[in-house]
Amino acid sequence: MKQLTFIIMSMIILASCGGNSKSEFNYSVDKFADVEILRYQVHNFEQLSLNQKLLIYYLSEAALEGRDILYDQNHKNNLTIRRLLETVYQNYKGDRTSTDFIAFETYLKQVWMGNGIHHHYSEEKFEPAFSQDFLTNAINQVDISLLPLLADENIEQFKTRIFPVIFDANLYPKRLNQEDGADLILTSANNFYEGVTQKEVEAFYAKMVDPNNHTPVAYGLNSKIVKENGQLVEKTYKVGGMYDAAIQRIISWLEKAANIAENDNQKAVIQSLIEFYISGDLKQYDEYSIKWLQDTDSQVDFINGFTESYTDPLGMKATWEALVNFKDLDATKRTEIISRNAQWFEDNSPVDNRFKKDEVKGVSAKVITAAILAGDCYPSTPIGINLPNSNWIRKDYGSKSVTIENITDAYDKASQGSGFMEEFMWSDNEIAQAKEYGSLTNNLHTDLHECLGHGSGKLLPGVSPDALKAYGSPIEEARADLFGLYYMADKKMVDLGLLPDKDAYKAAYYQYIMNGLMTQLTRIQPGKNIEQAHMRNRQLIASWVFDKGTIDNVVELKKRDGKTFVVINDYQKLRDLFGELLAEIQRIKSTGDFEGAKYLIETYAVKVDQKIHTEVLSRYAELNIAPYKGFVNPVYSLVKDKSDNIIDVKVSYDENYIDQNLRYSRDYSVLPYYN
Ligand code: ZN
């Protein structure tokens, strides 16, 4: 599971950093549509050993090789369209400053940001602001052999096939559709299923699931479902199967990495992943996951594979992602304190004892420095990750949780002086609080969310982990957030030395409610509802406590000069409400109460208050801040001596967003147009 940043937290201005910035590092790289592209710094890379640097290099190559897999998973025409756009972009001989061309460039940048033709967050298809005529003229300038045409297709047929996918807003409007009542598979444009209905798929997997199996594999995780001769069949992502060419390249880099692993455990982890890529066997995947979570000694670590299922409306199919990182030894002391006390947190949580774990196993938590982001972690990236996702593995073996601090750091640095807090916070008091404790409580909340929240609680015997269906993701995220929020205000935080002051938590509370009730709506188009799991979870929590706290006036929306502000009147009662909701959500999860989940989500998490929304959008527009952030990666290069021995790995930060994506498409693209 991933923790995405709540944008407000990234708007924090550290008082001491204003004015004379000590570093010359240029965090902001590009800005287009609703996106700002940032750069992150790989702190202390130079201090790693040559072997560790080389390991990062090989794992980074393995990470970048999976890029096309994600494009194809997101939508079946994505690779064709990306290749078309890039070819035109590189060969266009007309006026590159014309309105049409600029709009075309923006669209291409959006496609890179979404890893396809849909928005990475809102799931909606991008609307090109250039004309069909422009694209036709541009295509006519290009050598036809460079275009992604099918074998016996001419250019007119190609256009007839592909133009509607780009220009017709009614065709494939959403990558992921979660509208209650619709056939979620037929109405979602992602490429996990083709020619099959939701009912057929549900029946297909229902037959596989054995309710008495205590160690069920993640059915369907690594395959596409199609219909052949009237029968549903899985096309598995593996060597010799779907995505073969890319997977083979990934394996070749993983083999190099295994040879120079930091220790035998890590070597076994990498080899186990290779075996999974070869067999596609989900039992093997579980074996790999267990080995992976148990490797806590290595400093260098990675994620590489079919991991998160947010894009599948049924929550089964996983998108490909990769992250290479190394432990931040100093900052990890913080998460180690949390981990060591995991049992205390479990025992003292406000949830019903029936739903608590008797023994919290191996919650390992660390703060990491990201070295490369890829697949579904690029260009948009999480700030925390907790894996594996398998419930029985988490129960029997625990999980590994990370907070990605150099990414949070880049968010903070890039947003200095945006004016956001001044616009949306009630008074100087809240602003001062945020400046002093915002960054700290933000990181701590991520730690608590990842290494305690997701790992806490248990399902009652016989309850299926998929019982909540499409409501499962936002409910799970709400559970993890609430666990963090509840404990943030606990005296234990100060006792453990995690917070310097018993009131520091107020910074996090205020920002969470303000974000959930108001400012996260900057990410929603006028008139639209909330779709994304993390956003649903935040609105659920904020509007539930707002609603339940009405009698005691715990949280208020106050007007000043025609503008709406969040005011928190009673922080202690707010904490109690967080505890109450946590108990209810844990009950829903533990008992598999689908109706309960549906009620909470549909009542509190989906619908947007139109008046507030309009107001927030117009106030936000004045600030001119991009609501979404993406990243470019650093570039790693091998340094060799005269006899061709590798003597160092250099990291550089000068590649821009366009060059990076074009290079990736040139160097890491081996899949056919259709898979
Ligand atoms: Zn999470």
What's the average pLDDT block by block, 10 residues per block, for the chain (675 residues)? 52 31 73 96 96 98 98 98 98 95 98 98 96 96 95 96 98 94 96 97 94 93 97 98 98 98 98 98 98 96 97 96 95 89 96 95 82 98 92 90 88 76 95 90 90 91 91 96 98 96 97 97 92 94 97 96 97 98 98 98 96 96 91 98 97 97 98 97
Helices (H), 499-552: 505-517, 533-548
Task: Give 362 Cα–ligand 1 centroid separation in angstroms.
Answer: 18
Task: Give 453 Cα–ligand 1 centroid separation in angstroms.
Answer: 8
Q: What is the pLDDT of residue 398?
A: 87
Q: How many residues are present in the chain? A: 675
Reading the block at residue 449, the tokens are 């969310």
Task: Give 454 Cα–ligand 1 centroid separation in angstroms.
Answer: 7
Question: How far apart are alpha carbons 378 and 250 in whole angstroms?
Answer: 17
Task: Give 116 Cα–ligand 1 centroid separation in angstroms.
Answer: 24
* 438 within 8 A of 12, measured Cβ to Cβ: yes
Question: How far apart are alpha carbons 219 and 205 in whole angstroms?
Answer: 7
Task: Give 426 Cα–ligand 1 centroid separation in angstroms.
Answer: 29
- Of 282, 291, 314, nearest to 465 (Cα)? 314
Task: Give 481 Cα–ligand 1 centroid separation in angstroms.
Answer: 7
Task: Give 645 Cα–ligand 1 centroid separation in angstroms.
Answer: 43
Task: Give 616 Cα–ligand 1 centroid separation in angstroms.
Answer: 26
CA dihedral 349, 511, 614, 581 (to 10 degrees): 10
Say which residue the tokens 């959008």 belong to.
617
Task: Give 404 Cα–ligand 1 centroid separation in angstroms.
Answer: 13
Task: Give 516 Cα–ligand 1 centroid separation in angstroms.
Answer: 16
Environment class of residue 644 by beta-carbon count within 10 Å: exposed (0-12), middle (13-18) or buried (19+)? exposed
Task: Give 451 Cα–ligand 1 centroid separation in angstroms.
Answer: 10
Question: How far apart are alpha carbons 161 and 577 in whole angstroms?
Answer: 54
Q: What is the pLDDT of residue 7?
A: 40
Task: Give 365 Cα–ligand 1 centroid separation in angstroms.
Answer: 14
Query: Running DSSP on this structure, what letter comes out for residue 598?
Result: H
Question: How far apart are alpha carbons 296 and 123 in whole angstroms?
Answer: 35
Task: Give 450 Cα–ligand 1 centroid separation in angstroms.
Answer: 6
Reading the block at residue 601, the tokens are 């989500």
Dihedral over Cα of 46, 50, 56, 60: its sign: positive
Task: Give 138 Cα–ligand 1 centroid separation in angstroms.
Answer: 44
Task: Give 386 Cα–ligand 1 centroid separation in angstroms.
Answer: 7
Q: What is the pLDDT of residue 9?
A: 38
Q: What is the pLDDT of residue 418?
A: 80
Task: Give 477 Cα–ligand 1 centroid separation in angstroms.
Answer: 5
Question: How far apart are alpha carbons 206 and 594 in whole angstroms?
Answer: 17
Task: Give 10 Cα–ligand 1 centroid separation in angstroms.
Answer: 17
Give this prediction's pTM: 0.81
Task: Give 267 Cα–ligand 1 centroid separation in angstroms.
Answer: 28
Task: Give 648 Cα–ligand 1 centroid separation in angstroms.
Answer: 37
Query: Running DSSP on this structure, what letter comes out for residue 331?
Result: T
Task: Give 152 Cα–ligand 1 centroid separation in angstroms.
Answer: 47
Which strand (E) or helix (H) includes residue 8? none
Task: Give 547 Cα–ligand 1 centroid separation in angstroms.
Answer: 24
Query: Running DSSP on this structure, what letter comes out for residue 13?
Result: P
Parallel/antiparallel/unpaired status of strands 555-560 and 646-652: unpaired
* Residues contacting 591, CB < 8 A, separation 6+: 460, 463
Say which residue the tokens 């949306």 belong to.
424
Task: Give 541 Cα–ligand 1 centroid separation in angstroms.
Answer: 14
Task: Give 442 Cα–ligand 1 centroid separation in angstroms.
Answer: 14
Reading the block at residue 329, the tokens are 């030894």
Task: Give 369 Cα–ligand 1 centroid separation in angstroms.
Answer: 19
Task: Give 2 Cα–ligand 1 centroid separation in angstroms.
Answer: 5
Strands (DSSP E) along 288-357, which ranges? Answer: 300-308, 319-327
Task: Give 122 Cα–ligand 1 centroid separation in angstroms.
Answer: 18
Q: What is the pLDDT of residue 15?
A: 28
- Of 640, 633, 642, 631, nearest to 54 (Cα)? 640
Per the DSSP assignment, residues forming a β-bridge with 401 are: 365, 386
* 515 within 8 A of 542, measured Cβ to Cβ: yes
C-alpha separations of 201 from 70, 87, 236, 382, 597 in Å? 21, 37, 15, 30, 22
Task: Give 29 Cα–ligand 1 centroid separation in angstroms.
Answer: 28
Task: Give 457 Cα–ligand 1 centroid separation in angstroms.
Answer: 14
Task: Give 47 Cα–ligand 1 centroid separation in angstroms.
Answer: 31
